[in-house]
Amino acid sequence: MTEIPKSHPRYASLVARERVAAGVKEGITSVQGLIAQGRGEAFDYLIGELTLPSALKATRTAAALLLLAERPALSVNGNVAALASREMVDLAAALNIPLEVNLFHRTEERVRLIADRLRSQGASEVLGEKTDVLIAGLDHSRARATRGGIFDADVVLIPLEDGDRCEALVAMGKKVIAIDLNPLSRTARKASVSIVDNIVRAVPNLIQAVRDLRGLERSELERMVREYDNKETLQAVGEEMQSYLAEQFSALDS
Ligand code: PTJ
């Protein structure tokens, strides 16, 4: 990995880029994952590389959904493994549920390497190496899933997911939580709760929200979920993004 000086104003973004590049070299992340990261970086730049208030609200609602779920599931792909494997393991531990490796560009080697990475970070149970069922509406390798994991889940967290798979999970009647920096992606539009934030900030925030909300009454969590409107959230993201950009452009004059 290239050494990034801590004093660099865009330190966190450059470290994330290095992690994804290292993921490709280690065989964890797909080459396409580099392009996905670049797209994510561009959107992150447009929101000032900070968590927006709307994203924080979505994160708290996501935590409420996960706490209310009977069978929540957490999906991990090659970019997620490179950027936030430790944090995903911590989230799974906080909820006492397994992680499931679920790849768009599936190879058995990459699934194994990601599962090993998660186990080396302390994951007690990792699904996805032995799939036993297909999700309807997707082509074969992208459809592969595990009973007892994503396939049977009522609530699924899908960070950095492709739109087709998000739609297929929604069509199965699941509540889907997306983490996606592009507020206009099909995934962000189709998900039940879209956290428009960088995964490196979103998952730690989600863990904190799970801890904060754990003591609340079920009825209070249900109220949070009932009052949440994902379209409103995406519109708020657009407004927050525009006001950030307006500030940046007006600063060009000074
Ligand atoms: O490991 P695999 O084979 O499962 O492949 C993973 C990728 C991400 C390559 C695959 O799912 C894919 O092609 O995804 P897309 O369709 O490019 O969508 C990824 C979405 O994640 C895009 O909307 C990006 O803007 C967004 N994104 C990229 N990096 C980040 C991100 N969102 C949050 N945090 C990021 N760091």
What is the homologous superfamily of the domain 53-240 according to CATH? Phosphopantoate/pantothenate synthetase (3.40.50.12640)
Q: What is the CA radius of gyration of the chain?
A: 18
pLDDT digits (tens, 9 = 90+) for 23-70: 999 999 999 999 999 999 999 999 999 999 999 999 999 999 999 999
pLDDT at 8 over 90: no
**Ligand 1 atom nearest to 103, measured from its CA:** 4
Give domain limits for the chain.
53-240
| Arithmetic mean of pLDDT, 85-102 | 97
pLDDT digits (tens, 9 = 90+) for 95-148: 999 999 999 999 999 999 999 999 999 999 999 999 999 999 998 888 999 999
> Measuring from atom 7 of ligand 1, which residue has the nearest CA?
33
| Arithmetic mean of pLDDT, 78-103 | 97
> Measuring from atom 21 of ligand 1, which residue has the nearest CA?
160
By CB atoms closer than 10 A (0-12, 13-18, 19+), residue 174 is buried
* Strand partners for 148: none
From ligand 1's centre to the CA of 79, what distance in Å?
7
From ligand 1's centre to the CA of 220, what distance in Å?
33
